Structure 1
C-alpha cells in the first residue's frame, strides 16, 4: 500500500471512529463492515481492531472482561465477535491497567482464535486477510510493549517479541496448504507473514536481546521464490518490504548481487511520497553499491538526508584510508545503529584497491615498487601499515581478483597485467 492509499484508509477509519459514541456503536460499525465481506471494508475493520487504531483512545471501548452479549449488538460471526471482545480487553490492559504482559497474552488468544476459527475453517474466501495482517502487526506491537514497558523477566528463555514468531508460524501453516484459486486462496498471506517474521528476527530490543534466527526463514524464502502464480496477487507494499529485508539478509550473507537486486527493487518501487522508507532502503543499498564499484552522487545523499555517507564515499573513491577512518569514527553511532558499521569498515579493501590504482596510473607502468604504495600511505597519514602488512594486503587483493598481477618478492614490486589490471569490482564480487 502506498502512502496516499494508507492515508485514505486512515482517514476512512478515523471517520468511523469519530462517529462512535458508545460500545453499541462500535459493535454495530464492525458488524456492517464485516458483513460486506469485502477486502476494502476489511482494511477499515482491521484499523478498528488495531491497538493503535483511531478508536483505541475512546474510554468507552477500554472495557475489562466484557465477555457477554447482553446490552450490546452481536457481531453475527461468532469468531469475530469473540475477537472484538478480546480486542477491547487488550485496550483496557494497555490504556487503563497498564498491564502490557496481559495485553500480549490476550492478543495471543486473538491470534489463536483467528487461526483456528477463520483461517482453518472458512473455505473459498480470503477477504478477511487485511484484518489478519493488522492482527499480526499488533502481535508484534504488544510483544514489544510487554518487553520494553513490562520489564524483562530473567526467568524467561526468550523475549515476548521472539516468542510471537511461533504464533505467526502457526498461522502460516494454516495458509500454506490452501491450494484454491488465487482469488480466494489464503496462501497469498504467506508474503505478509514472511515479512512479519523478517521484522521479528531483525529486531533488537533494548540493545540487549538479539534475535538471530534468519536461517529459519530460508524455506519460507524458497517457497516465495517458487510461487510464481502468486506474484501478481501479492501487494506491491508487501513485495517492496520483502525485497528490502531479503536484500538486507543477502548483504549480511555477503551475497552482493542478490542484495543489490533486491534493495534496488525495493527502492525503485517504493512510492516517491514515502521518502522515509526510500531513505531506509538507501542506508543498506549504498554500501552494497559501493562494494560493487558504484559510488552514490552527493546530491542523492543530501536529498535523502544521508550526509553521513558523503565523506565515506569520497574517501573510498580517492583511496584515502585516513579520511575513511575519520569519517567512520565521526559517524560511528549512526552506522552502528543502522547495523552497517562492520560492513563499512570492510570498505578499506576497496579503498586500498583504489589507492593502488591511482598510484599505478600516476607512475604509468606495470611494475610498481611496493615502497611507492607505502610512501602514499605515509603521505595520507596512515602509519600503522608496514611493508609486510602491505604485501599481505596486495596479495589479498590479487586473490580476490581486485587486482590482476603478482608480487615479485625478489624485486619488491607489484607486477600488474597490461590488460585490465584493475577489473570492475562487480566482476570480482
Structure 2
C-alpha cells in the first residue's frame, strides 16, 4: 500500500510502532503535512477519536488527532483550518514533552511541527487579512506565542549538558522565532532568544546548519543595531561555513555581509560580486572605493527598490561617510601636503558635480571624521585649512 492510498488503521499502526520504538525521525515524518500520506482520502473520517484511541495512547493521541484535522484542512484547501489545527498540534506536542520528563527523542517531531506551523501561518495570515480584515502579521504573532510553549518546556530542562536534555531543541526553536520576528519587524523580541542561546555551555555543539541560520540572523540583528564588529563576525561565520553548493543562501548572506564589510573598511572583490550575481553592489563598491559621491547617490537611487526590500537602504546610506573619507584621502595623496585648504575640497566636490556643497558643510564633514578617528588632524578655522598628521593621517577604519 502506497502512502497515497494508506488506510487510517495502517497509518495509525505505523505511527504507533515508531512511537513505541522512540523513532523520532519516523514519528516526525508521519506527522508532517509535507509527506505523501497527507494525499490519502482514507485518513479523512468524520469522527476519528475512537480509531485513534484504540491504537494511540495518551498523550500522543491528541497530537495525532490534531494532525488528522490538518490533513482534513489540506483536502478542503482551507489554510485557516490547517493553521488552527496545527496550533492545537503544537500545544499537544508541548504537553507530550512535558510528560516525557527524562527523554528528548521527540525533538525531531517538535522541530517538524513548529516549522510547519510557521510555514502555514504565512498563507493563513494572508488569508485572514483578506477574509477577516485582521492586521497583517497578527497570525504570525499568535504563531510565535504558540511556539513559546515548546520553548518553555525545552528551557526548563535543567540537564543542560546531557544528551537527553530537551535544551538541544532550543536553537531550532530560536531560529523559527527569528524568521517570524524579522518578517513582522519586531527585532527587539530577538534579544531574550539570543541571551537564552548564548548562556548555554554547549551552544557551539549544535548542528552546523542550525548554527549558520542562527549566525545569519544574529548578524543581521547586530547590523541593524550598528554593532558592525559583531555583525561581521556572525555573518562571516555564516558565509564561510555555508555549503559551497548553497549558492542561493550564500548570496543571501552576502547581501548583508557586504555593507558591513565596507563600513569597517574592506572592499569586496569584483569576482565575488560576479560569482553571486550581485550587480546591485558593483557601482556601489566602486563609488565607495574611489570616493565618488555622485556615483554612490545614483546607485542608491537606481537600486532603491532592491535595497529597501532587503532592509539595507539606511545601512548603505552610512557608506557615504566612508566615501567622503576616501575622497578626502585622494585629495591628500594628490596634493602631498599635510596642510590642505578647505577650498581644495570644495573644488573636489565640484569635480563630482556637487556644486551645492560649500566650505562650511565640508568643515562639518571633516570635523566629524576627525572626531570618529577616520582622519588624524585638526581644522584651522583662522586659516581655513585642514592640518593632518604626518604619520598615518588616514588610519584604517575601525569597526
TM-score normalised by structure 2 residue count: 0.93
Q: Is the 8 A contact 1:99 1:150 kept in 2?
A: no
Give SS of 1:228's match: coil
In 2, the alpha carbon distance for the partners of 1:276 and 1:60 equals 39
> Which stretches in structure 2 are left out of the alignment for 5+ residues?
none
Deviates more, 1:362-371 or 1:87-96: 87-96
Q: Is the 8 A contact 1:367 1:415 kept in 2?
A: yes
Residue 370 (structure 2) pairs with residue 360 (structure 1): no
In 2, the alpha carbon distance for the partners of 1:274 and 1:158 equals 29
**How many equivalent pairs are there?**
397
- Which one has more relative contact order, counting CA pairs under 8 Å at least 6 apart? 1
Counting only pairs closer than 5 Å after superposition, residues 50-61 of structure 1 correspond to structure 2 as: 50-61=32-43
The residue that corresponds to 2:190 in the other structure is: 217
Residue 108 (structure 2) pairs with residue 130 (structure 1): yes
Residue 369 (structure 2) pairs with residue 388 (structure 1): no
How big is the shift at 1:380?
1.8
Give SS of 1:120's match: helix
> For residues 114 and 73 of structure 1, do their structure 2 counterparts lie closer, same or farther at Cα, with a shift above 3 Å needed?
closer
Q: Is the 8 A contact 1:178 1:186 kept in 2?
A: yes
Counting only pairs closer than 5 Å after superposition, residues 135-174 of structure 1 correspond to structure 2 as: 135-151=113-129, 153-154=132-133, 159-174=138-153
In 1, the alpha carbon distance for the partners of 2:71 and 2:353 equals 60
Q: Which of 101, 106, 120 matches 2:85?
A: 106
How big is the shift at 1:194?
1.2
The residue that corresponds to 1:28 in the other structure is: 13
Q: Is the 8 A contact 1:28 1:73 kept in 2?
A: no
The CA deviation string for residues 103-154 of structure 1, in whole angstroms up to 9 with x for no partner, is 22211111111111x2211022111101101111111122212111333544
The CA deviation string for residues 369-413 of structure 1, in whole angstroms up to 9 with x for no partner, is 111112121112223422221111111111111111111111111
In 2, the alpha carbon distance for the partners of 1:170 and 1:322 equals 52
The CA deviation string for residues 206-263 of structure 1, in whole angstroms up to 9 with x for no partner, is xxxx432x3233233123212123532x211111111110000000000011101111
Q: Which of 27, 33, 37 matches 2:22?
A: 37
Q: Which of 207, 210, 218 matches 1:238?
A: 210
More helix by share: 2
> For residues 65 and 274 of structure 1, do their structure 2 counterparts lie closer, same or farther at Cα, with a shift above 3 Å needed?
farther
> For residues 299 and 57 of structure 1, do their structure 2 counterparts lie closer, same or farther at Cα, with a shift above 3 Å needed?
farther
Residue 68 (structure 2) pairs with residue 94 (structure 1): no
How big is the shift at 1:164?
1.2
The residue that corresponds to 1:67 in the other structure is: 48
The residue that corresponds to 1:10 in the other structure is: none
Counting only pairs closer than 5 Å after superposition, residues 2-13 of structure 1 correspond to structure 2 as: none
How big is the shift at 1:334?
1.2
> For residues 419 and 74 of structure 1, do their structure 2 counterparts lie closer, same or farther at Cα, with a shift above 3 Å needed?
farther
Give SS of 2:379's match: strand
In 1, the alpha carbon distance for the partners of 2:12 and 2:109 equals 16
Q: Is the 8 A contact 1:27 1:73 kept in 2?
A: no
In 2, the alpha carbon distance for the partners of 1:230 and 1:74 equals 42
The CA deviation string for residues 24-61 of structure 1, in whole angstroms up to 9 with x for no partner, is 343233233333313xxx23432332233343334444
